[in-house]
Amino acid sequence: MRSNIKKIVFGAMCAGALSCAVFAQEGQFTDLYYNQDLNTTGWSADRYMQNPAVWNVGSQDGPLFDGEVNSASNNLYLVSQDPLTSDQSVLFGYDSYNWNVHDIVIDLDNGVNYRILHLVPNQKLQISGDFDITLKSLARWWMPENRIALDENVSITVDGNLNVANSTAKAEVDEGNVGQNGVKFVVSSENYMPSSFEVKGNVAFKSEDTYSYWSDNILFSLGVTSFKVGGYVDMTETRAGTFTWDLCKTANDNYFSDISVGGLEGGSALQISSAHSATVNLTFANSSAHSYSGTLASRAGSDNKLNVTMDASDAQNGRQTLIIKEGGAVEGDAAMNPSRLDSVTVLNGTLNLGAYNGLVNGDLYERQARNIVRLYR
């Protein structure tokens, strides 16, 4: 078992090599480890996550599981024992369209683009605990994509927190000549059909505190119609210029994405990399005070729009400081230019908007007199 995997309390384990089922008792959970080769296609009934035979109990070399995988008493671990070298997918399968598990822990060493979790059309996933993702890049001078793929009418709900970590360390980069560009974490719809992802707790991004070149970079990319965070999104960087949140990346024209967060913390880069005309509606539903400072950019030649709304769930205490600095340009085939806000609206709470001249392209207004927009440059 990898040493950096989070320890979780689990129920009684079976002795010996016999197949067994472990039933959760009050306050206890069963840790199940996926035992299939992640470099082999996941599109096979005997490899689907719904199959008890693809899980070991307690560790990667523990006894086989023979109970019900689809249970809120189970913690599911997807851990790469060998580096990922083949572009594949991991799927639950088709036996159930409603999944409910406790924690999901994904820990991968990846040198290719990979669907770390793929939900088929109309499938719903409820994670009653946390969703922890640790990624290490083994790619040479490029950023591998680690993707949660959502088919049409799919939803994921996390009752706890979503934690994403880049575990690429300087020593490994220098010794192996890999991982120089960091990692990419993507949540997107297949064919950009309607889908949703909700985290009721917080979303946090972290990198190793050592780096070589850009190995500590994290690019968080969305391509869903609805993304909601009940808590706040923490993009506090280990060092400046390492985290980027791509609010919308699609190949579709006239794509709309609604993003609601209970606050945005830290400093990094915001961007919309859709090549055509995506509209992102970003709502701050804060119940407490949060502060963010970074740049804003959009795909060169596109007609992308970002509308910001402050609609605090607690009008008295909900405050968001949003400082958009000049900059954010990216050169290359998918060039990014500094962008502007299309509109800013305050319904409830306080929005402190730090803006440079020309940042707001369209409307800037308040709906109610008691709400405050503070502009400063």
> Tokens standing for 127?
């994670």
Sign of CA dihedral 288, 289, 292, 297: positive
The three-state secondary structure class of 109 is strand
Query: Is residue 223's pLDDT more than 70?
Result: yes
Is residue 330 domain-resident? yes
What is the model's pTM? 0.89
pLDDT at position 335 is 80
Is residue 323 domain-resident? yes
Domain limits for position 144 = 80-376
Q: Rounded CA gap, 291 and 234, in Å?
A: 10
Query: Is residue 288's pLDDT more than 60?
Result: yes
The three-state secondary structure class of 53 is helix
Least confident of 4-18, 22-36, 56-70, 344-358: 4-18
- Please report which confidence band the pLDDT of residue 59 belongs to, taking 50, 70 and 90 as the band edges: very high
Domain count, the chain: 1
Strand-strand pairing, 336-338 and 341-348: unpaired
pLDDT at position 127 is 98
Sign of CA dihedral 335, 248, 245, 340: positive
Is residue 172 domain-resident? yes
Is residue 126 domain-resident? yes
pLDDT at position 10 is 25
Is residue 359 domain-resident? yes
Tens of pLDDT along 39-49?
998 898 899 99
Is residue 258 domain-resident? yes
Tens of pLDDT along 75-88?
999 999 889 999 99
Q: Mention every residue, 6+ apart, whose C-beta is less than 8 A from residue 366.
A: 345, 346, 372, 373
Query: Is residue 3's pLDDT more than 60?
Result: no
pLDDT at position 333 is 63
The percentage of residues in the chain with a pLDDT greater than 90, rounded to a whole number, is 70
Q: What's the rounded mean pLDDT across residues 110-122?
A: 95
CB 236 within 8 A of CB 260: no
Query: Is residue 2's pLDDT more than 80?
Result: no
Is residue 148 domain-resident? yes
First CA to last CA across the chain, in angstroms?
Answer: 51
Tens of pLDDT along 15-32?
333 333 344 334 599 999
Is residue 155 domain-resident? yes
pLDDT at position 25 is 39
pLDDT at position 357 is 67
CB 147 within 8 A of CB 164: no
